[in-house]
Amino acid sequence: MSHHIYYLRMIITGKYPNLRMRRSRMHDWSRRLVQENNLSYNDLILPIFITEGKNKKIPIKNMPGVYRYSINNLSSIIDKALKKKIPMVALFPQINNKLKDQFGSEALNENNLVCKALRYIKKKYKNKIGIMCDVALDPYTSHGHDGLFKNKKILNDETNEILIKQALIQAKAGCDVIAPSDMMDGRVLKIRKELDKNNLNDVQIISYAVKYASSFYGPFRDAVGSKSALKGNKKTYQMNFKNSDEALREISLDIKEGADMVMVKPGMPYLDIIRNVKNNFKIPIIAYQVSGEYSSIKNAIKNKIIDENSIIETLYSFKRAGASSIVTYFADQIDLNLFN
């Protein structure tokens, strides 16, 4: 019997409607009672841009509310994160252009910006907040790519040899979570082995396992100064956004190689991927609501096209899809007690 006829018969027999979905939506207490997902500050990771110099807090183009901080100004933003009980921050350096070269040499300087920031934060905050750092060469290369660039190609294995050194240097400086975002093949295993060999077996790895070649990274690339430098695109190493099964192969490989958590990136255009990963693997998934998403939402709010509640709505979409936590530039700005 078709549904139409079934309901029609119920109306006729006076039984309709015996099921009213609106009943549980009628009162606030009742809506809370049947709520399936919860978002708390425990679910958020705050990205922080750092810059050279002293007493700096520099706005970032197209990212109102987000700044680059010099190391001596970092406590203003980290104190804010601590107060909200945000468990972890992610550091992204913008280094002086003069320090960039084709090999990304500055990435291997134990006294580079990110290492100095790591030592500063660890000394001041001990283990009260986790610190995550990207492993990739793009903030350090003159060509803006994540790996070594030779004869118009990004070299995989040669890049990995540098990445393992970069990971080791960052871990030694105090990084709690190493996050390779370079998309080279085989780097998670190599990094894990290198860390273990150096008695850094407690350092975790979040693999940017599924990272698409995306238009949504624009404001970030401006923020770390790699946008104008970038030659070509990243399609030979970041994933094709037309693919979804391939994401599962990437995840399974990185789990085998020793990743503790996996990342899916960007965020909102890839909720289907997060759900697919969640259904197929039992590993914490981190969603990254990237810079272009932040800028778009922020801009729409500024122009009164949508209201501020939209932010929380987007963050819940990640929770529904199956993410354990979310990297978001909104982390320090939102008040979860106000909007829920």
Q: Which residues are at the interface with ligand PBG (CB under 6 A)? A: 134, 136, 138, 146, 181, 217, 220-221, 234, 290-291
Report yes or no: 302 and 326 within 8 Å, Cβ to Cβ. Answer: no
Q: Pick between residue 125 and residue 209 the one whose CB is nearest to ligand PBG.
A: 209
Active site residue 211: yes
Distance CA 318, CA 284 (A): 13
Q: Pick between residue 125 and residue 206 the one whose CB is nearest to ligand PBG.
A: 206
Q: Pick between residue 75 and residue 185 the one whose CB is nearest to ligand PBG.
A: 185
What is the smallest separation between the CB atom of 14 and ligand PBG, expressed in angstroms?
A: 57
What is the smallest separation between the CB atom of 224 and ligand PBG, expressed in angstroms?
A: 7
Catalytic choice (84, 100, 190, 265): 265
Catalytic choice (100, 211, 298, 319): 211
What is the smallest separation between the CB atom of 5 and ligand PBG, expressed in angstroms?
A: 52
Q: Pick between residue 46 and residue 125 the one whose CB is nearest to ligand PBG.
A: 46
State the DSSP string of 57-80: EEE-TT-TT-EEEEGGGHHHHHHH
What is the smallest separation between the CB atom of 179 and ligand PBG, expressed in angstroms?
A: 8
Report yes or no: 23 and 67 within 8 Å, Cβ to Cβ. Answer: no
Q: What are phi and psi of 210, to 5 degrees?
A: -115, 95
Supply angle C-alpha 255, 261, 265, rounded to 5.
100
The DSSP bridge partners found for residue 48 are 91
Closest CA to 138 of 204, 186, 93: 93
Residue 330 in tokens: 């909104």
Q: Pick between residue 120 and residue 212 the one whose CB is nearest to ligand PBG.
A: 212
Q: Pick between residue 139 and residue 174 the one whose CB is nearest to ligand PBG.
A: 139
How many other CB atoms are there within 10 angstroms of residue 1's CB atom?
A: 6
Residue 175 in tokens: 């990084």
**Which amino acid is located at 180 in the chain?**
P
What is the smallest separation between the CB atom of 315 and ligand PBG, expressed in angstroms?
A: 15
The SS3 call for residue 208 is: strand
Nearest residue to ligand PBG, by Cβ distance, number only = 220
Distance CA 43, CA 192 (A): 25
What is the smallest separation between the CB atom of 234 and ligand PBG, expressed in angstroms?
A: 6
238: Cβ contacts below 8 Å, ≥ 6 apart: 183, 211, 212, 213, 214
Q: How many CA atoms lie within 13 A of 23 on its CB side?
A: 5
Tell how strand 204-211 and strand 177-180 pair up: parallel
- CA 37 to chain centroid: 20
The DSSP bridge partners found for residue 59 are 67
62: Cβ contacts below 8 Å, ≥ 6 apart: 218, 219, 222, 295, 299
Q: Pick between residue 45 and residue 189 the one whose CB is nearest to ligand PBG.
A: 45
What is the smallest separation between the CB atom of 138 and ligand PBG, expressed in angstroms?
A: 5
Which residues are designated catalytic?
Answer: 211, 265
